[in-house]
């Protein structure tokens, strides 16, 4: 599952200046596997990085490096390739071939039990790759469905040689058992020793699980399962799931024999004993497996039976001698009746035919007649056999028993494919299989089983594989992540479009605000769905931060500030302001919501305080004049009365204003001070 940089610091890291880590694929006991990009060769790879707490353990480091060396020695289409190995600071890593798809364990979780055809197809591929390893002297020692990779394009590969060791080395594990307990051979459980036959045992358990959907041994504790491996015989798959072919029962029994000497010696021997797929009369496929021992045919015993088997009519006449007439009609001593399994020679004819024969001569004549009769019978048999042979040749040649190639049908409808198969003498299986496909639209045929261009017998049942559209992938955390983190998490599985940028007062700059995709109905808010089609278009909306506040700036400064973030200065409106000096921006307004680059920002520019024409207050008392001017926002001042009489009455309410400074009619502004003059 994809993990973002907030929870895994390896995401986004560049290893050895070459491998940029994109996302996490899986996590195991010794290491974590990441999807990365080889920036030098521009290809996707899988990088297996040892856990940091194990990197300081020299034994674990050596075992980890041993995996790379063991796997790098191997090159086979059914083995995951190893490209590189190294260490950088606290990071010990292996670079491997990236196989997009699922594991055999995922397939078993989805379908539980597989068909015999599917199980034997997978077994053949695993055996082919394992045979390459065994031929190189390497024992895997950790075979299980989790280590069998099923690629999206149909390839089957065996990986994870983390416990592999050379067969020439000491293959004992010591006190600790390595591998998964459900697939450990009896000798690994009891003696801790492993060789190529231990791998075969694990394959036998895997074959049982593929055929039945469950492991043969169960228990609440690992020790209970180990005890059953060491002391019990693996049951036949057909006992758990009736209908499993007897040949596969035999293959499981052979591979899981408790005594290693009773198993195939290596993967090549087991692979050589597997025959191809043959069709039953029901139209279903069945895999035929040759038994490990050669069958011996024994002919019936006994003299008469053996003679009859060879067509000898005289088997019961051995006690009679054959009389041979000489030229004079006298009898000679006869030879033995049979020499080397052949009858004795017939009578020699003389110049004249004798009217009557002796009893011995009559018997010889009778035998000659019988031989002639057998000759005619043999001729008839030969003719019949020739006709039968011709019929068989016609049946398996142009007739219904011949071979044809499966046509290419990708992109067609199911009905079109059924017609195409029928026109080629093939039979379309009633049930179809659904499989994700990036190229073929949902509902159309993406492939056949067996695949196109394979030569099969006429009348073979062909299963149609229908596209379910792109594979649905769980979406990682997007909104609230930095743009670079979100792009790294999405880049390998989806089609990233050019991001959209907009200003937001609530979201920091360079942070994802939203993510949108598309489907048949239009735009899709990806924050409302958990899964999205593989390689589907994804558009990120990224925050540019808040629109800059230009209040209090001059128009020139405001223009520079807005242009620096991609905005433009819009209309300018002037307004009196008692608080903002003349020529400075009072406020700004964004014309579009949300604001994007290029959006105009309108501003209100101050004209300074509101002008006031000073009214005439001449003749009014000081209090009246002050009240009038203060109501206009002006300040009022006047000198104190120095006349002694002013102390005896309220002079400000009595004395009139003579003049003002500034004079009446002058333009003033709020906050200006007006001085009143009066007579004392």
**Cβ distance 207 to 267 under 8 Å?**
no
Helix H segments across 222-309? 222-231, 237-240, 246-255, 267-272, 303-309
Pairing, β 667-669 against β 611-613: antiparallel
Of 468, 474, 486, nearest to 532 by C-alpha is 474
Phi, psi of 526 (to 5 degrees): -70, -10
Whole-number Cα distances in Å, 117 to 113, 211, 267, 274, 284: 12, 10, 19, 12, 9
Task: Give the three-class secondary structure for 181.
Answer: helix
Q: Sheet containing 635-637: which strands, arranged edge to edge?
A: 635-637, 673-678, 657-661
In eight-state DSSP terms, residue 370 is: H
Measure the CA angle with vertex 610, ends 609 and 613; round to 5°: 125
Alpha helix ranges (H) inside 94-184 = 104-111, 116-135
Is the Cβ–Cβ distance between 180 and 142 less than 8 Å? Answer: yes
Instruction: Find the length of the chain.
Output: 680
Q: Are strands 138-139 and 148-151 parallel, antiparallel or unpaired?
A: unpaired
For the record, the structure tokens of 654 come out as 């009595």
Nearest to 615 by CA among 660, 671, 670: 660
Give CA separation, 232 vs 39, 188, 224, 253, 255, in Å.
Answer: 52, 15, 11, 12, 14
CB 347 within 8 A of CB 400: no
d(CA 487, CA 515): 11
- Dump the DSSP string for 386-428: HHHHHHHHHHHTTSTTSEEEPPP-TTS-HHHHHHHHHHTT-EE
Round the CA-based radius of gyration of the chain to a whole number and report it.
49
Q: For 533, list phi and psi in degrees, rounded to 5.
A: -60, 145
Q: Side-chain half-sphere of 240: how many Cα atoms within 13 Å?
A: 16
Paired with 96 in beta bridges are 46, 82
Neighbours of 218 (CB within 10 A): 10
What are the catalytic residues? 142
d(CA 186, CA 605): 90
Longest dimension (CA), the chain: 206
Considering only CA atoms, which of 490, 491, 487, 476 is closest in space to residue 527? 476
Burial 485-506 (b: 16+ CB within 10 A, else e): bbbbbbebbbeeeeeebbbbee
- Asked if 82 and 130 count as a contact pair (C-beta separation under 8 A), the reply is no
Exposed / middle / buried, residue 624 (Cβ in 10 Å: 0-12, 13-18, 19+): middle
Look at residues 500, 521, 501 and name the one whose alpha carbon lies nearest to residue 509: 501
State the Cα–Cα distance between residues 533 and 94, nearest whole angstrom: 30
């Amino acid at each position: 599952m994809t993990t973002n940089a907030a929870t895994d610091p390896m995401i986004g890291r560049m290893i050895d200046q070459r491998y940029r880590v994109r996302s996490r694929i899986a996590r195991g006991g010794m290491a974590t596997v990441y999807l990365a990009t080889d920036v030098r060769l521009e290809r996707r790879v899988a990088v297996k990085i040892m856990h940091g707490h194990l990197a300081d353990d020299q034994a674990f480091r050596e075992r980890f490096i041993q995996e790379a060396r063991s796997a790098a020695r191997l090159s086979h289409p059914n083995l995951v390739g190893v490209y590189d190995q190294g260490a950088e600071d606290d990071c010990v890593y292996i670079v491997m071939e990236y196989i997009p798809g699922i594991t055999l364990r995922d397939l078993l979780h989805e379908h539980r039990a597989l068909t015999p055809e599917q199980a034997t197809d997978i077994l053949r591929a695993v055996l082919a790759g394992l045979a390459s390893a065994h031929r190189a002297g390497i024992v895997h020692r950790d075979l299980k469905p989790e280590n069998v990779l099923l690629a999206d394009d149909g390839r089957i590969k065996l990986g994870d040689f983390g416990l592999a060791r050379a067969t020439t080395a000491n293959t004992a594990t010591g006190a600790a058992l390595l591998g998964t307990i459900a697939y450990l051979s009896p000798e690994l459980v009891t003696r801790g020793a492993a060789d190529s036959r231990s791998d075969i045992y694990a394959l036998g358990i895997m074959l049982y699980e593929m055929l039945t959907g469950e492991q043969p041994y169960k228990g609440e504790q690992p020790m209970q399962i180990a005890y059953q491996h060491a002391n019990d015989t693996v049951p036949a798959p057909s006992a758990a799931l009736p209908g499993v072919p007897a040949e596969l029962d035999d293959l499981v029994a052979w591979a899981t024999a408790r005594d290693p000497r009773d198993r195939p010696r290596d993967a090549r021997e087991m692979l050589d004993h597997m025959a191809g797929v043959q069709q039953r009369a029901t139209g279903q496929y069945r895999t035929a497996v040759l038994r490990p021992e050669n069958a011996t045919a024994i002919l019936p015993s006994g003299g008469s039976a053996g003679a009859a088997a060879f067509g000898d009519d005289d088997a019961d006449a051995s006690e009679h001698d054959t009389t041979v007439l000489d030229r004079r009609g006298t009898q000679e001593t006869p030879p033995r009746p049979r020499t080397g399994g052949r009858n004795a020679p017939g009578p020699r004819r003389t110049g004249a035919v004798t009217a009557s024969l002796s009893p011995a001569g009559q018997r010889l004549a009778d035998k000659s007649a019988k031989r002639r009769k057998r000759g005619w019978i043999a001729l008839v048999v030969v003719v019949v056999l020739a006709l039968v042979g011709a019929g068989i040749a016609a049946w398996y040649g142009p007739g219904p028993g011949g071979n044809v190639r499966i046509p290419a049908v990708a992109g067609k409808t199911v009905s079109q494919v059924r017609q195409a198969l029928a026109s080629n003498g093939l039979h379309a299986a009633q049930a179809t299989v659904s499989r994700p496909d990036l190229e073929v639209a949902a509902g159309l045929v993406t492939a056949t089983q067996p695949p196109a261009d394979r030569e099969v017998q006429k009348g073979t049942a062909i299963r149609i594989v229908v596209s379910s559209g792109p594979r649905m992938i769980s979406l990682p955390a997007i909104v609230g992540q930095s743009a670079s983190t979100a792009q790294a998490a999405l880049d390998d599985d989806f089609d990233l479009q050019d991001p959209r940028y907009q200003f937001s007062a609530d979201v920091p700059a360079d942070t994802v605000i939203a993510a949108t995709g598309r489907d048949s109905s239009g735009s899709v808010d990806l924050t409302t769905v958990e899964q999205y089609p593989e390689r589907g278009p994804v558009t990120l909306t990224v925050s540019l931060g808040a629109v800059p506040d230009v209040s209090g700036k001059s128009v020139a400064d405001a223009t520079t500030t807005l242009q620096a973030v991609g905005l433009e200065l819009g209309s300018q409106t002037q307004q009196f302001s008692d608080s903002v000096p003349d020529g400075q921006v009072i406020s700004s307004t964004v014309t579009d919501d949300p604001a994007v680059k290029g959006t105009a920002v309108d501003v209100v520019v101050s004209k300074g305080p509101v002008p006031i024409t000073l009214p005439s207050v001449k003749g009014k008392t000081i209090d009246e004049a002050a009240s009038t001017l203060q109501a206009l926002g002006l300040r009022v001042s006047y000198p104190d009365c120095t006349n002694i009489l002013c102390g005896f009455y309220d002079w400000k309410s009595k004395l009139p204003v003579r003049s003002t400074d500034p004079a009446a009619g002058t333009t003033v502004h709020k906050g200006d001070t007006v001085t009143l003059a009066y007579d004392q």
